[in-house]
Amino acid sequence: MMGYRIVVAGGTGNVGREVLNILAEREFPADEIAVLASSRSAGEQADYGETGRKLKIQNIEHFDPTGWDMAIFAIGSDATKLYAPKFAAAGCVVIDNSSLYRMDPDVPLIVPEVNPEAIDGYTAKNIIANPNCSTAQMVVALKPIHDAAKITRVVVATYQSVSGAGKAGMDELFEQSRNIFVGDSAEPNKFTKQIAFNVIPHIDSFLDDGSTKEEWKMVVETKKILDPKIKVIATCVRVPVFVGHSEAITIEMEGELSATDAQALLREAPGIMLVDKREDGGYVTPIECVGEYATYVSRVREDPTVENGLALWCVSDNLRKGAALNAVQIAELLGRRHLKKD
């Protein structure tokens, strides 16, 4: 069989580079790969994972998507608005990492372990959306519990790493930490307050009801991916961690489910690694999940304050499951279910 012709747009950013790494690691059946970026980076080279292959970066403005099978976009909402419809119209299916199309009723929002069948709706616009990083890992953890006991309400507090704010976020944490050690000023630039040795309960812009856009995304995306009837309240917090988002999740269910039964379900569920020894260090922190594919679940316990409740801790590499890995898994799913070239 023939392989796919796949485009990676935004190949110079954190997520785009990670997409190339994961395509190489997972030996995605690609006959041809085009790496696109803005004119600034055109002509530079991008690494194809650890393969030693170098791919020349092309200018997205001059690229003709005709004849290409799929494109993974990691270029932000403004550029996506411009290019996604062009690619889709040319017959190249767009898998978009930005928030632009996530809540579009004609665009499937996919986490392959959770709602693979929803991808069938991609033909409406030839676009598939990748969810927010914090939503992606949460719904992977919620899915087996929802299937078993029907979740009615979720309360989540996130501990999100600075890589979620791109390279500028990572640079700011590094530089501020260094400045504080040598007694220099640590003025915020990318973030609204000092991020080094601090936590900031503010990600994205504020909405009229007092929540932030990041919190709103978690609510509406969870409903779209998992079940519109689930009630969700989120508090999203930026923490001084370079890579890896953590979440403290409290779940209320219609049915009864003990912590032991929940652990057994999570242990078998796709995409999840249960690391839950009730002892010092018997849980996962962001440091351990960097570079890993899995969504890690720890600290599973019953919540005695409600009729049927559970609490758990969930950690994942936000550049992987939260972004690049999920996009590549969508590409694999699209190939298996629809394009069937490999």
Active site residue 245: yes
Size (the chain), residues? 342
318 is known to lie in a ligand binding site: yes
Output the CA–CA distances (angstroms, integers) from residue 336 to 21, 111, 119, in the order listed: 21, 15, 11
Question: In 3D, which of 160, 143, 295 has the Cα closest to residue 234?
Answer: 160
CA distance 93 to 70: 4
12 is known to lie in a ligand binding site: yes
For 281-336, the DSSP string reads T-S--HHHHTT--SEEEEEEEE-TTSSSEEEEEEEE-TTIIIIIHHHHHHHHHHII
In 228-281, where do the E strands start and end?
231-238, 245-253, 272-274
7 is known to lie in a ligand binding site: no
Active site residue 146: no
Q: Which of 92, 245, 289, 314 is catalytic?
A: 245
CA distance 40 to 14: 16
40 is known to lie in a ligand binding site: yes
CA distance 54 to 187: 38
13 is known to lie in a ligand binding site: yes
Location of structure tokens 């690694």? 273
152 is known to lie in a ligand binding site: no
- Contact status, residue 151 vs residue 253, Cβ threshold 8 Å: yes
CA distance 341 to 329: 16
CA distance 285 to 245: 9
CA distance 276 to 297: 7
Q: Which of 133, 236, 289, 314 is catalytic?
A: 133
Q: Map residue 212 onto helix, strand or coil.
A: strand
- Contact status, residue 295 vs residue 274, Cβ threshold 8 Å: no
Helix axes 133-149, 259-268, angle to 10 degrees: 120
163 is known to lie in a ligand binding site: yes
238 is known to lie in a ligand binding site: yes
State the binding site for NADP(+).
12-15, 40-41, 163-164, 318
State the binding site for substrate.
160, 238
State the binding site.
12-15, 40-41, 102, 160, 163-164, 238, 318
| Residues carrying an active site annotation | 133, 245
State the binding site for phosphate.
102
